[in-house]
Amino acid sequence: MKFLMVLIGLFLLATAAFAQYPSSVLDLSYWKLTLPIDEDGNGKADEIKQPELATYEHPVYFHVNSDGTGVVFRAHCGGATTSGSGYPRSELREMQQGDATQKASWSTDDGVKHVMEITQAITHLPDVKPHVVAGQIHDANDDVIVFRLEGSKLFIDINGTDGPTLNSNYQLGEVFKVKFEVYNGVIDCYYNDQLKYSYTHSASGCYFKAGCYTQSNTSKGDDASAYGEVVIYDLLVTHGDQQPPTVSLTSPADGSTFTEGETITLQASASDADGSISRVEFYANGNKLGEDSSAPYSYDWSGATAGTYDLYARAFDNDG
């Protein structure tokens, strides 16, 4: 499946404000979230899956940043962990495109190009063991390759072995872009659009992960409240050589103001360089309003209550 989304802001005359969900900043359609908390009391880290994830946020561990440009992932050293790790995480796990109830599982040498691109900043590290993983490929048994920060050293880690250094003097809050591109048994690793390392490796049961995987806990000497934190500004996953469609929300304009009760017409333009558009979906604050399967793509939104809204459109091509 390939799609693209574009985001604008909208204001209805009112005093009330509406929450902006992480799904209005990042496309979370085919991800599940693991958090460093155990609110259901089952002794394991909580998981949030679709469709709940579309309208989910946590004020500490998973939320939109103050200026609405990124999603904050935080994991504290005393947090709950998964059964296979002693470290806490606020992290997305890739699910199967086309069916978010199933886990993604692909091979590095299955003849398909698998790509994950992340624009992000690491914004906080634990005090005693200042290590965080921010983006990884995992196979059926263990991590294959990850982007890792230890103190000020940002580098590629190959299953526990230090690989190339990407930045020896990384400053917290510095925005950078990383990409994994997997094809024919080779994993190409990019940093700020420059190829930094190619790793030949055969693995199956693979999937991408993105977010904050804090590499410390209280047994390492860190306080339970110490934490790692990552802000993701853009996240894109594709499988195959096809190009994703493009979409632009043409109306209403960013920052528009309407009177409560007024019908608002949302309009979008969309195209696909190597296929056709199957539908365009329209969203407000992470909630789907409706869709249109033929150009010109539009939707009339009626009954909107007073508040502040983030509107966006998603375009889907003929691959689903």
DSSP-assigned beta bridge partners for residue 93? 32, 209
In a domain, 52, yes or no: yes
From residue 192, give the alpha-carbon distance in Å to each of 185, 196, 222: 23, 10, 32
- Taken in order 85, 90, 93, 98, the sign of the CA dihedral is positive
In a domain, 133, yes or no: yes
In a domain, 229, yes or no: yes
Residue 319's pLDDT band (boundaries 50, 70, 90)? low
In a domain, 288, yes or no: no
In a domain, 307, yes or no: no
Spatial distance between the Cα atoms of 195 and 192, rounded to a whole number of angstroms:
9
CATH code for position 224: 2.60.120.200
The predicted pLDDT at position 198 comes to 97
The predicted pLDDT at position 273 comes to 75
Residue 13's pLDDT band (boundaries 50, 70, 90)? very low
Spatial distance between the Cα atoms of 266 and 298, rounded to a whole number of angstroms:
5
The Cβ of residue 116 has, within 10 Å, a number of other Cβ atoms equal to 22
Spatial distance between the Cα atoms of 307 and 232, rounded to a whole number of angstroms:
26
Q: How much of the chain, in percent, has pLDDT values that exceed 90?
A: 75
In a domain, 212, yes or no: yes
Return the closest-CA partner of residue 310 out of 99, 68, 76.
Answer: 68
pLDDT of 284 higher than 90: no
Number of domains the chain contains: 1
Residue type, 218: T
Please compute the mean of the pLDDT values over residues 212-218 and round it to a whole number: 98
Write the CB contacts of 309 (distance below 8 Å, at least 6 apart in sequence).
9, 10, 11, 12, 18, 284, 285
In a domain, 175, yes or no: yes
| Full domain range(s) for residue 150 | 26-239
Residue 1's pLDDT band (boundaries 50, 70, 90)? very low
pLDDT in tens, 53-63: 999 999 999 99
